[in-house]
């Protein structure tokens, strides 16, 4: 089987789903790392700037994830997004849960409230999951 027939298969297997997942989310993570670094260096001057950072950065980073994910998945027309969505929900929750526990511990030790941080992490998670689902819901790929 050639690579072209692998990526354009009418009946994609698990291998293609994993390949597309890696092609979509590895570059998205790299882009978000760059955006996160730029925003953090611009906004955070002291720990008290964290809430401002969370309000601005978390939604922007979720939109970057969303745009890159949609862009890549649109290129693979035979991938059924309904099969991908449970993994988006699960791994999105794992990633944002990790972010929550890491930042909450840091903020509590610095004496900064965590409610804005928690709310923005939840909001960002919903932007990614619901946005991805809604984009593909009425498409041929669903």
Domain boundaries, the chain: 3-137
- Please state, for a pLDDT cut of 70, what percent of the chain lies above it: 98
CA quadruple 99, 102, 107, 108: dihedral, nearest 10: 130
Tokens of 126: 């919903």
> pLDDT tens digits for 36-88?
999 999 998 887 889 999 999 999 999 999 999 999 999 998 999 999 999 99
pLDDT (0 to 100) of residue 8: 72
Element (DSSP H or E) covering residue 11: none
Instruction: Tell me the pTM.
Output: 0.86
CA dist 62 and 100 (Å) reads 15
Q: For 109, phi and psi rounded to 5 degrees?
A: -70, -25
Question: Which residues, including other chains, have CB under 8 Å from residue 130's CB and lie 6 or more apart?
Answer: none
């Amino acid at each position: 089987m050639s690579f072209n027939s692998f990526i354009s298969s009418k009946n994609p297997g698990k291998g293609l789903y994993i390949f597309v997942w890696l092609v979509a989310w590895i570059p998205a993570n790299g882009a978000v790392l760059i955006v996160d670094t730029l925003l953090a260096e611009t906004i955070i001057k002291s720990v008290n700037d964290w809430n401002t950072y969370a309000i601005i950065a978390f939604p922007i980073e979720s939109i970057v994830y969303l745009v890159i994910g949609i862009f890549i998945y649109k290129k693979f027309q035979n991938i059924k997004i309904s099969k991908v969505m449970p993994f988006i929900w699960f791994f999105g929750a794992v990633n944002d849960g990790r972010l929550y526990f890491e930042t909450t511990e840091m903020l509590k030790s610095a004496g900064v409230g965590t409610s804005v941080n928690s709310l923005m992490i939840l909001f960002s998670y919903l932007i990614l999951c619901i946005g991805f689902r809604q984009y593909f819901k009425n498409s041929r790929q669903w």
